[in-house]
Amino acid sequence: MNQINVGIIGCGSITKNRHAPEYQENPNVKEIVFYDRNPERAQALAETFNGRVAETIEDLLDDPSISAISDCSSNENHPINTTKALRKGKHVLCEKPLATSLEEAEKMVEIQHNSGKKLMVAHNQRFDAPHQKAKEIIHNEELGKVLTFKTSFGHKGPEHWGYNKTNSTWFFKKDRSVSGVVGDLGIHKIDLIHYLLDDEITDGHSFKGALDKVDENGEPIEVCDNLVCALKTKKGRIGTASFSWTYYGKQDNSTTIYCEKGIIKIYPEKDVPLAIETPDGEVQKPELPHHPNSGVIDSFVDSVIQDTEPFITGEDALASLKVVDMLLE
């Protein structure tokens, strides 16, 4: 298989900003077929990215020329759309969170195994250059073993990002987003900690709230806009995390890993992707490769074409979702 056709379900912001442009640039992708239940959104992206439109989801999934699907619909629809696509024999790249409940996610992983098709979940933070470098340093124990960590992901909120840029956005609705800022931003850092530390968060204590966001009726939103927590991993590391939709300035995407012989600081400031501090006070800022895109689309296409296991599996996503569930309980 040299070139593939891909279908995209959901033509909102993540498709416009990531999936469509990165598929378009990938030399192994021949054609992109767009589907959205709001057909004008599919039409607009088909024009911008030189693709075509499927009028129904059946048209998309029954098209034998399409071998892979990106599920970029809203959270509550991932279990429906991704499952349908796997059952129709398509490989799927599903946006995070994989599902809105553990039961659904477990079922999706089971269906993927039975289908023999690939399921990758878009926990794209793993591909980021400073995260890749931190992974290498930790894996090689260049600073000894990891002892503790702290991580944070926050920005001014999804009403500044999604297709619907008002406070009636689905991101604020309990039945559609379900997990609020935790499934939106927190899950990225949960997956990142699992990946960097080659470990799994097994215990956590959290405080959460809808502190500032209001819906279209001026009522506090139904999901949390902030969560802070203390975490413990299977291998006994302890750390803290904060996830927020109310950081009304520059986004905070920082992670600090405290090791026996020094500290790895990832995005300590916006213009500093990585700083390594040692006990003598020395600070190194390693040169990092420039990545023109997120890496997640290219990795998915490679796994389909080369028939290799996806870099982020359904099981990985399930492990992160378990932590989300625990923190929200």
Ligand X SMILES: NC(=O)c1ccc[n+]([C@@H]2O[C@H](COP(=O)([O-])OP(=O)(O)OC[C@H]3O[C@@H](n4cnc5c(N)ncnc54)[C@H](O)[C@@H]3O)[C@@H](O)[C@H]2O)c1
Q: Count residues near ligand X (CB under 6 A).
A: 26
CB closer to ligand X, 53 vs 275:
53
CB closer to ligand X, 225 vs 259:
225
Q: Which of residues 206-245 bind ligand X (CB under 6 A)?
A: none
CB closer to ligand X, 18 vs 117:
18
Q: Which of 22, 36, 191, 225 binds ligand X (CB under 6 A)?
A: 36
Please give the Cα distance from 165 to 200 (Å, whole number).
35
Check whether the bond before 97 is cis (ω within 30° of 0).
Answer: yes
Q: Which of 6, 7, 8, 12 binds ligand X (CB under 6 A)?
A: 12
| Two tokens, residue 209 | 């709230």
DSSP string, 187-222: HHHHHHHHHHHT--EEEEEEEEE--S-B-TTSSBPS
Q: Which of 163, 263, 302, 322 binds ligand X (CB under 6 A)?
A: 163
Please give the Cα distance from 136 to 224 (Å, whole number).
34
Please give the Cα distance from 104 to 285 (Å, whole number).
43
Please give the Cα distance from 90 to 138 (Å, whole number).
36
Q: In the complex, what is the shortest distance from the CB of residue 264 to ligand X, in angstroms, rounded to a whole number?
A: 22
Please give the Cα distance from 266 to 4 (Å, whole number).
36
Establish if 85 lies at the interface with ligand X (CB under 6 A): no
Interface region with ligand X, contact rule CB under 6 A, candidates 9-17, 84-92, 193-201, 271-279:
9-17
Q: Which of residues 92-151 bind ligand X (CB under 6 A)?
A: 95-96, 122, 124
Q: Using CB under 6 A as the criterion, which residues of the chain lie in contact with ligand X when the complex forms?
A: 9-15, 36-38, 41, 72-75, 77, 81, 95-96, 122, 124, 161-164, 184
